[in-house]
Amino acid sequence: MDFQSLGLSPRLVGRLETLGLVEPTPIQAQAIPHALEGRDVMGLAQTGTGKTAAFGLPLLQALGAIGVKPAPKRPVGLVLAPTRELAKQIADTLIGFARGSHLKVALVVGGASMNRQADALRKGPDVLVATPGRLIDLIERKALSLDETRYLVLDEADQMLDMGFIHALKRIARLLPAERQTMLFSATMPAQIESLSRSYQSDPVRVEVARPGLAVEKIDQQVHFVGQSDKLALLKSLLAAHKDERSLVFARTKHGAERMMKQLVKAGFSAGSIHGNKSQNQRERTIAQFRDGRITILVATDVAARGLDIAGVGHVYNYDLPNVAESYVHRIGRTARAGAEGRAVAFCSAEEAASLKAIEKVLRASIPVAGGKPWTKPAEARDKPRRPSGARPRRRGQRSRGGMRAAA
C-alpha cells in the first residue's frame, strides 16, 4: 500500500516522497480514507506511530480544495494539542506537508508573545495549531473567532483531560459550528474520552491499530526499587555508564526537575531542563541543544511526555513515577522512535509502590526488576513510628507524666 492508493492528491503524494515518506503506517492507512470521506474519526494508536500525518494529510487536502483564502482571525482548520512542544511539532510537520501550496499554518501557545500571535491570526491562516489555554486567551481578546472553523482535530485528547483542560474543551466546543468534521486521536482510551467523543463527534468511525496503553515492543523496560534519598546516586551511576548516549529523565515537579538538572551539571554531566516555569523560547532552545547533541541529558516534567520527537534517545529514566499511570506509556515512548530500540528505566520508592502497580495494570504486564527488592509493605505502615503496646496517643496540649506538654 502507498499514499496514492489512500486517495491523497498527487501534490501531497509528491511532497511526501520528497520527505522520504512512501509507505503509510497502520494508523495512517486506516484513518486517512475515512477522513477524506469527511467522516468523524476516533483514532487510537501508540505514541510515535504517525498520528500527525493521519489527520494532517486529509486536513490539508480538504483545505486545499476550498480555494478561498480564510478571513482574518477565522481559521478553517483547528488542531488542539495539550502541550507547547506537541503543538509546535504538529505545526512544523503540517508546514512541511503544505510547502509549495497556498496553505498557511499558524501556531499559538502559551509562553510566547500574544501580540505577535494576534498579528499572525490577522493574516488569515488556513490551519491554526493551538493549546487550549492560549486559544481561549486570544478568543477573549477578540483576536480569534471559531465561527468558520469546519475542521477540528483533538490530538492526544487523553492528556488534555489529564491536564485539566476538560472545561476549556467544553467551552471551545460551544464556539464551533455544528456542521464540521472532527477527528479525535489518543493513545489511551479512558472512559472520559468516550464522553468527550460524544460531545464533539457525530457517528465517528473508530480506528484502532494497537491496544491502548501498550508500550512499544522494542523498548527494554526495567525497574529499580530504591529509596527516594538514594535515587540521585543511582541515576548518576546509570548515566555515567552511557555518558555518550542521549537520555531523557522525567521528574514529577518543576522545582524537582530544575534542582536535578543543576545537580547533574555540578556532577559533570551535560544537561538541560524543560518545565512549566521555562519560557517558550527557553524550552525551544534547550530542546534544540538536546537534538543537536550539545547536551546529552534532558530533565523534564510531563510537558515532554508527548510531542518530543527526537531520534536517538537511547534511555528514558522515570526518576519519579507519574501520578497518572497512562503517562508512563507516553514518557517511555520518547525512546525507540521510528523503529529504533530503546531502554526505559523506572525508579520506584516505597511511596510509589501503588503507582507502579497501576502502571503494570495499564501495561498488562510486570516490569522486569533490575535492582532492589519489591516493597512488601506500604510506606506509611513501615515508616510510621511505633508506640509502645497499649499506649494511647496524646491529644494536642495534653500533659505528659512529667508535666511537659506534648509537642505541637
Listed in sequence order, the DSSP H helices in 219-308 are 231-241, 254-266, 280-292
| Residues spanned by the domain of 328 | 219-376
- Please tell me the predicted confidence (pLDDT) of residue 92: 95
d(CA 273, CA 266): 14
Condensed to tens digits (0 to 9), the pLDDT of residues 55-97 reads 999 999 999 999 889 999 999 999 999 988 889 999 999 999 9
Q: Is residue 213 part of a domain?
A: no
| Alpha helical stretches, state H, 226-277 | 231-241, 254-266
Residue 181 belongs to domain with CATH number: 3.40.50.300
Residue 397 pLDDT > 60: no
Residues 233 and 351 in one domain: yes
Both 304 and 371 in one domain: the answer is yes
Residue 211 cell numbers, joined: 491496544
Give the mean model confidence (pLDDT) for residues 157-181: 89
Per-residue pLDDT averaged across 18-47, rounded?
Answer: 93
Query: Does residue 302 sit within a domain?
Result: yes
Residue 169 Cα distances to 150, 166, 192, angstroms? 16, 5, 12
- At 320 the three-state DSSP class reads coil
Q: Measure the CA–CA gap between 303 and 4, rounded to whole angstroms.
A: 35
Q: Considering only CA atoms, which of 20, 97, 7 is closest in space to residue 60?
A: 97
Any domain includes 16: yes
162 and 228 share one domain: no
Asked if residue 408 is part of any domain, the answer here is no
Q: Of 188, 208, 228, which marks where a domain is finished?
A: 208
Structure confidence by residue, pLDDT tens digits, 249-286: 999 999 999 999 999 999 999 999 999 888 878 988 99
CA distance 7 to 401: 86
Residue 388 lies in a domain: no
pLDDT band at residue 378 under the 50/70/90 scheme: low
Burial class (CB in 10 A: 0-12, 13-18, 19+), 77: buried
Give per-residue pLDDT as tens, 308-355.
778 789 999 999 999 888 788 888 888 877 667 789 999 999 999 999
Residue 301 near residue 257, CB atoms below 8 Å: yes
Q: 96-110, 122-136, 253-267, 300-314 — which is least confidently predicted?
A: 300-314
pLDDT, residue 310, reads: 81
C-alpha cell recorded at residue 229: 534519598
pTM as predicted: 0.71
| 241 and 265 part of one domain | yes
d(CA 294, CA 286): 9
Q: What percent of the chain has pLDDT over 70?
A: 88
Mean pLDDT for the chain overall = 87
Question: Do 285 and 162 fall within a single domain?
Answer: no
Instruction: Show the DSSP H helices in 19-142 as ranges.
Output: 26-36, 51-66, 84-98, 114-122, 132-140
Residue 174 lies in a domain: yes
Question: Which pLDDT belongs to residue 393?
Answer: 47
Instruction: Specify the pLDDT at position 341.
Output: 79
The tens digit of pLDDT for each residue in 183-220 reads 999 877 777 888 888 889 999 999 988 654 455 567 89
| C-alpha 248: how far from chain center | 14
Residue 108 sits in the same domain as residue 137 = yes
For the segment 118-133, the average pLDDT, to the nearest whole number, is 97
Amino acid at 92: D
CA distance 165 to 50: 24
- Given pLDDT bands bounded at 50, 70 and 90, which one contains residue 306? low
* Of the candidate ranges 132-136, 325-329, 372-376, 404-408, the one whose mean pLDDT is the lowest: 404-408
Quick check: helix, strand or coil at residue 115? Answer: helix
> What is the predicted pLDDT for the residue at 140?
96
Residues 62 and 189 in one domain: yes
**Residue 360: exposed, middle, or buried by beta-carbon count in 10 A (0-12, 13-18, 19+)?**
middle
- 235 and 145 in a common domain: no
Instruction: Look at residue 384 and tell me if it is in a domain.
Output: no
Residues 190 and 231 in one domain: no
- Are 92 and 171 in a shared domain? yes
Least confident of 34-48, 217-231, 298-312: 298-312
Q: What is the mean pLDDT of residues 103-125?
A: 95
Instruction: Tell me: do 146 and 179 sit in the same domain.
Output: yes
* DSSP bridge pairs for 206: 42
Q: Report how far residue 15's alpha carbon sits from residue 76's, in angstroms, rounded to the nearest whole number.
A: 22
Largest CA distance in the chain: 90
How many domains, the chain?
A: 2
Tell whether 37 is covered by a domain: yes
* Together in a domain, 138 and 255: no
pLDDT at 179 over 60: yes
Mean pLDDT to the nearest integer, 22-37: 95
